[in-house]
């Protein structure tokens, strides 16, 4: 996962149509998901329930 849309867009646009997802980290954390900082604005996580994911729509 990326902290911002810039890096996420760079990585995601290499493979077909770009779709960005947001993660409700509060809910995921309350459900027991652990997040790990990998550096350079990149995060790793345990499996995240689909209920914590939403398609990103810019304002």
Q: What is the pLDDT of residues 39-50, one digit of tens each?
A: 998 999 999 999
Q: What is the pLDDT of residues 16-35, one digit of tens each?
A: 788 899 999 999 999 999 99
Pairing of strands 21-23, 53-55: antiparallel
pTM here is: 0.80
Q: How confident is the model at residue 11 (pLDDT cuts 50, 70, 90)?
A: low
Q: Which residues pair with 43 in a beta bridge?
A: 37
| Confidence (pLDDT) at 12 | 62
Extract the tokens encoding 6: 């810039």
Chain CA centroid to CA 11, Å:
12
| Confidence (pLDDT) at 14 | 66
Cα–Cα distance, 18 to 37 (Å, whole number): 24
């Amino acid at each position: 996962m990326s902290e911002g849309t810039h890096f996420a867009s760079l990585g995601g646009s290499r493979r077909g149509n770009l779709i960005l997802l947001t993660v409700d980290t509060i809910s995921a954390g309350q459900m027991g998901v652990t997040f790990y900082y990998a550096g350079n604005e990149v995060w790793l996580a345990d499996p995240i329930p689909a209920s914590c994911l939403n398609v990103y729509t810019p304002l």
